[in-house]
Structure 1
Amino acid sequence: MALKEDYEARFDGVLQHLAHALEDQIKGYLEGEIRIDRVQARAKSVDRFLAKAAKKQGDAARYQEPLHQIQDQVGARIISFYLSDVKRVSDIVERYFRSVEARNLIPESEWEFGYFGRHYVLLVPDELIDPSWDRTQVPDFFELQIKTLFQHAWSEANHDLGYKPGARDLTPDDKRRLAFTSAQAWGADQIFEELFRASEAAR
């Protein structure tokens, strides 16, 4: 119960305001950039935070200090049109934010299909921290994902089907169907990127 109350205080007092400030800041950095579909930032809901905090690693709790260890209490996303736009946007992000972790998330094997995207753990900028906030309630990090429209659409549907609270366990056949849709999204990204490059080359 104490964890729930602590996170609710953090969510109401800091995280929602920080998410709005981050969204505005990222939009400002990307102002004038083309082929950006949307920029969003939001605080992790109380229910989702508690569900993540309760996760196990073997018999032990995965997070000994959830308020300090869970890095996506504020999460942001940038959705671009094409694969090459992800690289362009990533360069802008790396210019303005201090990165703790940066990686491309791809399935472990080339025979597998699943989640794709560019993932960052970034330090919360000091200039966004309101002096009136309780500094102990401000997280050190936030997560940022940069994805194409197809990557975003697939990951949102996949999360809704397989990971939301109360969702039924996916059968092996369900997982094959999800992998098939991921392969289709991957193929669509490749084709749109090729068409975009051909269009640009013809100008």
Structure 2
Amino acid sequence: MTRLPGVILAGGRATRMGGGDKGLRLVGGESLMDRVIARLGAQCATLALNANGDAGRFDALGLPVLSDSIEGFAGPLAGVLAGLDWAAGQGAEAIITAAADTPFFPDDLAARLQAAAGPQGLALAASPDEAGVIRQHPTFGLWPVALREDLRAALQGGLRKIVLWTEGHAAGRAVWSSDPYDPFFNVNTPEDIATAERLIGA
């Protein structure tokens, strides 16, 4: 497995959490962001954070902060593009992305995404929901730098839904088990923090 750069996606507005930086919320005495940094950092060559607004609020993390180049909170794909532009400057061929609010994602994320890459080098993570239906988690992916101009053009043309773009480029899919819980469980509400606390305790 090639150790690729990793990008943590934290560019959203956390409206269901009441606003602010969701990744800085504490779970089990540690911020969501610190948990994600530790987990993704163990799998990647280097890390950066995609976030908008004052980058100084993340100084304590010691990571480069990449803001969206597409105006108007264009969603996670804009964060992916920011990460690809950053990685291109380092001469990297691809990036691995993870969401800042998902503290339990797999410790083999990078390896299995690379193994599942489609013909154009794309792959997304997936897991079964409670009904057994496989659901993609498009903020967890393998993204080739070679497609960044295609992605930029799509975003400038108004595309916002990740899977519309990834399906158009034949993305592969890596599927993880949801037993005993979905590793892609993400914290969106105060109630989710309580659930995460229980999972950590278990």
TM-score, with length taken from structure 1: 0.26
Larger Rg: 1
Query: TM-score, normalization: structure 2?
Result: 0.26
Which has the higher relative contact order, 1 or 2, with Cα contacts under 8 A spaced 6 or more apart?
2
